[in-house]
Amino acid sequence: MRRLEATESRRLAQHWADRIALSTTRPWRIMEICGGQTQAIVKFGIDQLLPPEIELLHGPGCPVCVTPLEMVDRALAIAARPDVIFCSFGDMLRVPGSESDLLQAKAQGADVRVLYSPLDALTIAKKHPDKQVVFFAIGFETTAPANAMAIHRARERGLTNFSALVSHVLVPPAITAILQDPEQRVQAFLGPGHVCSVVGTAEYLPIAERFKIPIVVTGFEPLDLLEGVWRAVQQLEAGEARVENQYSRVVQDAGNTASQALLREVFEVCDRKWRGIGSLPQSGLQLREAYRAHDACYVFEVRDITTQEPAACISGQILRGLKKPTDCTEFGKQCTPEHPLGATMVSSEGACAAYHAYGRGPIPATRLARGVQERL
């Protein structure tokens, strides 16, 4: 299995772009769910290859963006303790809490460590039996199996100095919330490829049926995204509303049953607050009672903090695809990646951060594909 060369990539991209243009007879609005897909679209300029009738809306698939402010503050309070080694994915280091962020906490002397894998936190816990090792377990269903494995192992091995601060979120409730909004504009979804590699595609069938909306489970390479858009357009033009799997090399309809079993063993579904959206019922994962000894929410006593988002922030509307980052009055002015006001500017893959980084503000993106009128 070799990597495609650039000439081949360009050729295939043009092939999909041509097919999409040929199939498109009317305007369509398609939302990609994953933050990683948003980043790829903006980074590779995928929307520039699409006919102007296709509008891509950016969804809420950024677990970093939607981590509640309270959880970040809790992380900071725990990290500040001298007996704690606080481990986290790099993504969370610059997410601002009410007053600070983990990077600043590190500068002030907290032992904050960036890890690639939650399993490495177990190694640190074994190496430092005199310290409390805490892992910031965020993410969608994709990251949940790895986090669950670390926590499960800690319990099995009696690693009493290891705990996890869990803030997992689930995709289907978010999509449902978006679709239930009367102002919502999404006509088709590009489904989250890696989430589905874990949970499978079954959860998306009732959504497609109930809301009559095509869902194409899509990968993350630019060619995956282009093919995903093409499949969505095919369904839209034909008036279909099925769940389809573009990412079949990675995703099986049943998902990974071993991972699903471990998730059921370690986690239970709970209500979860999504930054910028609000509380969504049954949209998160928390540790089961049996794992309380490794639940940082119980191991560490942290007083609850109430927080308030700045009034000008329209993150919620952006996450639901109702507005674009460029619709915001503060975009690029008061609100930048260095001084984020809200969820979608916070993480490097939030729609606002992606737009800001890749220059979607003052300079309009060049359209490489011609519109329907020009082609006739």
Binding to another protein in span 148-177, by CB under 8 A: 149, 153
192 binds another protein (CB under 8 A): yes
Q: Which is nearer to another protein, 8 or 240 (CB)?
A: 8
Strand pairing category for 188-192 and 28-34: parallel
> With contact defined as beta carbons under 8 Å apart, do 310 and 318 qualify?
no
Contact 36, 165 (CB under 8 A): no
The set of long-range contacts for 93-98, using a CB threshold of 8 Å and a minimum separation of 24, is 94/346, 95/64, 95/67, 95/346, 95/347, 96/72, 96/340, 96/346, 97/69, 97/72, 97/73, 98/69, 98/73, 98/305, 98/307
Q: Does position 334 bind another protein by CB under 8 A? A: no
274 binds another protein (CB under 8 A): no
Subset of residues 278 to 317 that bind another protein, contact rule: CB under 8 A: none
Looking at 47, 53, 73, 295, which residue binds another protein (CB under 8 A)?
A: 47
Report whether 233 contacts 372 (CB < 8 A): no
CB of 171 or CB of 213, closer to another protein: 171
Nearer to another protein, 130 or 156 (CB): 156
Separation in Å, CA 356 to CA 39, 93, 95: 11, 19, 17
* Residue 262 within binding range of another protein, rule CB under 8 A: yes
Q: Give residue 25's identity as a one-letter amino acid code.
A: T
**Interaction of residue 340 with another protein, rule CB under 8 A:** no
**Residues 74-133 within binding reach of another protein (CB under 8 A):** 87, 89-91, 93-94, 113-120
The site that binds another protein (CB under 8 A) totals a number of residues, namely 83
Which of 78, 251, 287, 313 is in the footprint of another protein by CB under 8 A? 251
Residue 130 C-beta: closest distance to another protein, Å: 18
Place of tokens 């509008």: 55
Of 77, 179, 223, 305, the one binding another protein (CB under 8 A) is 223
d(CA 261, CA 106): 36
Provide the minimum distance between the beta carbon of 304 and another protein in the complex, in angstroms, as a whole number.
Answer: 27
Whole-angstrom distance, CA of residue 355 vs CA of residue 106: 29
Residues in 18-37 that interact with another protein by CB under 8 A: 34-36
Structure tokens at 227: 């093919």
51 vs 238: CA distance, rounded Å: 18
| Cα separation values, 337 from 266, 347, 356, Å | 35, 8, 8
Give the binding range for another protein (CB under 8 A) out of 73-81, 234-242, 283-291, 355-363. Answer: 355-363
Minimum distance, C-beta of residue 102 to another protein, in the bound complex (Å):
10
| Minimal distance, residue 234 CB to another protein, in Å | 16
Instruction: Please report whether residue 135 would count as binding another protein according to CB under 8 A.
Output: no
Cβ closest to another protein, residue 8 vs residue 271: 8
Asked if 6 touches another protein (CB under 8 A), the answer is yes
Question: Which DSSP string do the residues of 95-106 spell out, in sequence order?
Answer: ---SS--HHHHH
